Amino acid sequence: MTPLLEITGLRAGYGGVEVLRGIDLRVEAGEIVTVLGRNGAGRSTLVKAMMGLIGRTGLMRIEGVETSRWRTCELAHQGVAYVAETRDIFPTLTVRQNLVLGLRVGRSFEHVAAPLLATLPSLARRLDTRAGVLSGGEQQMLAIARALAGEPTLLILDEPTEGLAPAIVVQLAEWLNTLASEGMGVLLIEQKLSIALRIAHRVYLMGRGEMVFTGTPAELDEHRATVGHWLEWSDGLD
């Protein structure tokens, strides 16, 4: 079966300084894959390179289609949705207006965004509220819902739990599990082991711009001595 996302030998950096040094990664349909690593490991650079936001070399395929040189908008049309760490909602627009901006051309709010809101009652009650006054958790949910309004097959999330209350993190984890069960591929860029190991089918660990481990959460647990060099376990399995 053709992977939903396949990356081989990805290299990227800034100002002539190489940050990513030959990254291989894949995501299958219906799979949640987590990329772990400390700050500075290259995780955010990885997603920026994948989305065509910085220069890159290497091979990238979406559902078997080579997209190595595609622009961000072309990747979105191919079914890739990206939620940045900064969320990038429009604070002066309402919840409804933010969601409408995520729709594909020709698709209606009632047929696409409204069903999303059925699982997000707090947003459904605040459709006419300006996004800038929402709580951090509500803004994160809005950013993800806006990405899903484009009906993607692959959802990429960069540090989605940053600054969120534990109860919201649990809600987010349940939502991502539901999306994967419906066939969507999810690539989760995280630093926290707690959510990553709870929901991931496979885990990649980055260190200094390279993948230093790949395997299942159970296999990660078996390699604590090695992985401990690259990541703290205090937010993990204990």
Residues 186, 115 share a domain:
no
Residue type, 115: P
Characterise 63 by phi-psi region: left (phi > 0), alpha (psi -120 to 50), beta (else): left
* Largest Cα–Cα separation, the chain: 53
Residues 26, 5 share a domain:
yes
State how beta strands 56-62 and 65-66 pair: antiparallel
With a CB cutoff of 8 Å and minimum separation 6, the contacts of 52 are 70, 71, 72, 74, 75
C-alpha closest to that of 199 among 191, 209, 215, 188: 188
Q: What gap in Å lies between CA 132 and CA 194, rounded to an integer?
A: 28
Residues 214, 104 share a domain:
no
Residues 53, 103 share a domain:
no
Residues 127, 39 share a domain:
no
- Output the pLDDT for position 64: 95
Phi, psi for 38 (deg, rounded to 5): -70, 165
Residues 59, 6 share a domain:
yes
Contact 224, 233 (CB under 8 A): yes
Low-confidence residues of the chain: pLDDT under 50: 234-238
Strand partners, 23: 10
Q: Which domain holds residue 34?
A: 1-79+152-238
Among residues 102, 125, 143, the one where a domain terminates is: 143
pLDDT tens by residue, 120-129: 888 999 999 9
What does pTM read for this prediction?
A: 0.92
Q: What gap in Å lies between CA 36 and CA 212, rounded to an integer?
A: 10
Residues 21, 5 share a domain:
yes
Total of domains in the chain: 2
Cα atoms found within 13 Å of the Cα of residue 228, Cβ hemisphere only: 8
- Output the pLDDT for position 233: 54
Contact 197, 29 (CB under 8 A): no
- Output the pLDDT for position 212: 93
Residues 96, 69 share a domain:
no
Residues 235, 167 share a domain:
yes
Residues 214, 171 share a domain:
yes
198's tokens: 């709870």
- Output the pLDDT for position 238: 38
Among residues 143, 162, 180, the one where a domain terminates is: 143
Residues 173, 206 share a domain:
yes
Q: What gap in Å lies between CA 184 and CA 155, rounded to an integer?
A: 7
CATH number at residue 169: 3.40.50.300
Residues 206, 96 share a domain:
no
Determine whether 222 is exposed, middle or buried from the number of CB atoms within 10 Å of its CB (0-12, 13-18, 19+): exposed
